[in-house]
Amino acid sequence: SFKMAGRQKWGKRFDFLLSIVGMTVGLGNIWRFPYLCYKNGGGAFLIPYILSVISIGFPLLFLETSFGQYVGQGMTKAWGMVPLMKGIGLANLMITWYANSLYGVVLAWAACYFVKSFSLILPWTTCSNIWNSDNCVELSHTSVNLSTNNATTPIGSGDSENSVDSISSAVEYWENYILKESPGLEHMGGVRWELFCYLIGLWIVAYFCIFKGIKWSTKVVYVTSTLPLVMLVVVLVRGVTLDGAAEGIYFYLNPNMTKLGEPQVWMDAVTQVYYSYGISGVLVTLASYNKFNHDIYRFGMFCLKYVISSHNKPHNPRDSILISLVNSGTSFISGFAVFSTLGFMAKQQNISIEEVAESGPGLVFIIYPQALSMIPHPHIWSALFFLMIIFLGFDCLFVFQECLVVSIMDMFPIWYSFKWGREAIQAMFVLLIVGMATPMVTEGVLVYWLTLYKPLEYKSTVYPVWAQVLGWCLGLSSCLWIPV
């Protein structure tokens, strides 16, 4: 058949392993897990998290990879063996498409910060730029005495009660320069052409890294999946040597056992496991490139030692457990890197760590740039940090894009018979994703956040009903395929 003649298989024993590690170890390990751990009882949060990994994360990882390996098809066709469940594959396809549209935008933000790290003066540290307001306060090594209230007010993320009349230069750089926020979602404003160019450039690079399929992309993944881990270790080593790092780490891990009685803590643990393990059909597609008899279960650390000592034997890494260990271990270790740096920042400004602890884009694009600007040689550390973010995002982008392409080709296997069939489908998806991502680099707020369950707010302002409806339509456009 067309499909059997043209479908690729992993070439080496580590290709599958590194591709999944690159996909599962992503931005959530850096900007989400450490904050959840601090917010939900410090070290006590590890109890529901580890239980969730054991009871949910590893079993579903093993289930999806085994399923994909058995059927040998992408997420859209794999569920065809259970006709009633075919909608799950289409739902997975939509989720992956939306996720990749967002990832490109996040990478464009990170690329902008990376390039600006080579400026003579880091632009988020000063208030002398055209995007700064009269309320801008420059970053410093100590607390800032604001003339508006003659009080010592910390520089945080801009939401502090005491900083109503002042905004840190890092916040203004993020909101007024990077996002160039409009008054509301109904005012889309113009396209941020600088971000749009970064978006186009990143997708051009991505296309030429993956347009030939896994035979080509795995060569890149060997770098992009391992280099961020090395960079994370470098950032960690530098972080724990800073003054105030011990206080930050204590704040990160200090156990509050009473939190375990709150249902939300357990929900956050389960959600983080789903979020970081990529339980969405992508694993099915990646495993479909395995040989049918590939041992996906065997324990990884023993086998890694075995592989190193005897390359000529036919055993493969014991993938599932090793992937779980690397993913969860990276999340845990990244917390030390993040909170050691935040502890340093808090001590330099003579404020509590609670005032600088954030998650999501606020941590990566506001708080961390502030902290890095206080370290000697800030340009180097800033460039290193944002290069790590770019590599972490690229891994997910590569994998998601491959899953989108092969899912369509599995649905219409005649494309395997065309000489440039894969390249054409790949280019089509790149254009579609760039088109979908373009509104996210305008001066309006992110479409992605409209899919959140509770009514969307931004700075205590509730979005209009039409925006809420739009968000629900986006969310339902994926999950409705299952009942349909």
To the nearest 10°, report the CA torsion of 343, 346, 349, 354.
180
290 is an annotated ligand-binding site residue: no
Q: 120 is written with which tokens? A: 């003579």
395 is an annotated ligand-binding site residue: yes
327 is an annotated ligand-binding site residue: yes
Contact 346/355 with Cβ under 8 angstroms? yes
The C-alpha atoms of residue 387 and residue 447 are separated, in whole angstroms, by 25
290: phi then psi, degrees, rounded to nearest 5: -70, 155
276 is an annotated ligand-binding site residue: yes
29 is an annotated ligand-binding site residue: yes
SS (H, E, C) the chain: CHHHHHCCCCCCHHHHHHHHHHHHCCHHHHHCHHHHHHHCCHHHHHHHHHHHHHHHHHHHHHHHHHHHHHHCCCHHHHHHHCHHHHHHHHHHHHHHHHHHHHHHHHHHHHHHHHHHCCCCCCHHHCCCCCCCCCCEECCCCCCEEECCCCEEECCCCCCCHHHCCCEEHHHHHHHHHHCCCCCCCCCCCCECHHHHHHHHHHHHHHHHHHCCCHHHHHHHHHHHCCHHHHHHHHHHHHHHCCCCHHHHHHHHHCCCHHHHHCHHHHHHHHHHHHHHHCCCCHHHHHHCCCCCCCCCCCCHHHHHHHHHHCCCCCCCCCHHHHHHHHHHHHHHHHHHHHHHHHHHHHHHHCCCHHHCCCCCHHHHHHHHHHHHHCCCCHHHHHHHHHHHHHHHHHHHHHHHHHHHHHHHHHHCHHHHHCCCHHHHHHHHHHHHHHHHHHHHHECCCCCHHHHCCCCCEECCEECCHHHHHHHHHHHHHHHCCCCC
The Cβ of residue 340 has, within 10 Å, a number of other Cβ atoms equal to 26
471 is an annotated ligand-binding site residue: no
87 is an annotated ligand-binding site residue: no
457: phi then psi, degrees, rounded to nearest 5: -130, 155
The C-alpha atoms of residue 270 and residue 277 are separated, in whole angstroms, by 11
From residue 474, give the alpha-carbon distance in Å to each of 223, 389, 426, 466. 34, 27, 23, 12
Q: Which residues does the annotation place in the binding site for Na(+)?
A: 22, 25, 29, 276, 327, 392, 395
Residue set of the binding site: 22, 25, 29, 276, 327, 392, 395
